[in-house]
Amino acid sequence: MIKFGQLLPIPASPVDSLIKVGVRTEKAGLDSVWAADHLLMIPAGIVPNVWPILGIIASQTERIEIGTCVSDPHRIHPAVFAQMIATIDQISQGRTIVGLGPGEAMNVEQFGIRWNKPVSRMEEFIKILRALWLKDQVDYQGEFWNLKDALLQIKPRRNPVPIYIGANGKRTREITGEIADGWLPTPQSPKLYKKHLDEIRSAANRVGRILDNFDPGLYIYVAIAEKYEEAMSQLRKIKPQIAFFPKTIKEAGYNVEIPSHLSETLYSNILVTEKGFKLYEEFGNYIPDEVVEDFSIVGTPEDCANKVEEFVKAGVKHFILINMGPNPKFVLDTFANKIIPSYRNR
């Protein structure tokens, strides 16, 4: 079955509104609700701790899965994180998903939190999470953490909790194929998504893993209106959010000349400062409309239904929609009544 979820509008909305959006997501018939797990974010706005919010949404819903898109392995000790997730999973009665990625400088550097070897740290973090959930006692000697006679006095209801990796580079895609339960890449074209998913499958094959229950996801910006231009105008405002990485733009086949100071590592290393905002805005000036269109679901309801089908053919099984309006209710109703029903038995 093809699943559809919705990303909570952080940093745009206050906390009480986020809870309401989460509850409405279930009432609209979607399958999941997700939150960006950040300490700081660009663009500016309200950035709360998302786990209490997801816990409240879990307590006020019965069916939808809840998860982060994505958390990082830098800000919280893996034992504390494992306990927190086990608790949320008990509240949700087994509906929690952990989205995890290598992280970005904006979440740590301004607070003196160490950000080193992010990919290796993420791998070790995942090993510890699963060990603490599955074992009664854990001894672990690693590069970043050491555990001796460690145990959790709470276990998840769904054990182990599924871990989806926000993989946007070759090495993290390999790790995804080797150990993850799902994949949550940044926006990209259907053609590029298929190529990257093939890399994940190849990595799984190399370690003898069968991906029968693997969940290839995609979080993607959506704007729907009766007229194409009205929808597209919404996404022109947020070009750097849609196309994060110059390398991904070029890999998708767009020959865009981007200055060296706006490198492929810009998003990973950008800080929430006045300089960071200016760099982010400058990067947006180099992103063509064609990239925005290719990397998103935008246009009339018919346009968007066709684009969803393109992504499904590329291998997407779980859409995480970032609802950009211009009328958010119209967008949600379009998916609930015109797009999602045709995928319920697929």
DSSP string, 204-247: HHHTT---TT-EEEEEEEEEE-SSHHHHHHHHHTTHHHHS--HH
Whether pLDDT at 280 is above 90: no
Query: 265 pLDDT exceeds 90?
Result: no
**213: Cβ–Cβ under 8 A, 6 or more apart, which residues?**
181
Whether residue 68 is predicted with pLDDT greater than 90 in this model: the reply is yes
Q: What band does 344 get if pLDDT is binned at 50, 70 and 90? A: confident
Q: In whole numbers, what is the pLDDT of the chain averaged over residues?
A: 96
For the cut 80, the answer to whether the pLDDT of residue 345 exceeds it is no
| pLDDT surpasses 80 at 138 | yes
The phi-psi region of residue 166 (left if phi > 0; otherwise alpha if psi is between -120 and 50; otherwise beta) is beta
pLDDT one-digit tens code per residue, 284-322: 999 999 999 999 999 999 999 999 999 999 999 999 999
In the chain, domain spans? 3-229+297-343
Q: Is the confidence at residue 115, as pLDDT, over 90?
A: no
Residue 84's CB: how many other CB atoms inside 10 A? 17
The band of 53, judged by pLDDT with boundaries at 50, 70 and 90, is very high
Vertex 307, ends 304 and 313: CA angle to 5°? 145
Q: What is the pTM of this model?
A: 0.96
pLDDT score at 133: 98
3-229+297-343 is a CATH 3.20.20.30 domain: yes
CA distance 323 to 297: 10
- DSSP lists the bridge partners of residue 183 as 165, 216
Does residue 26 contact residue 64 with C-beta atoms inside 8 Å? yes
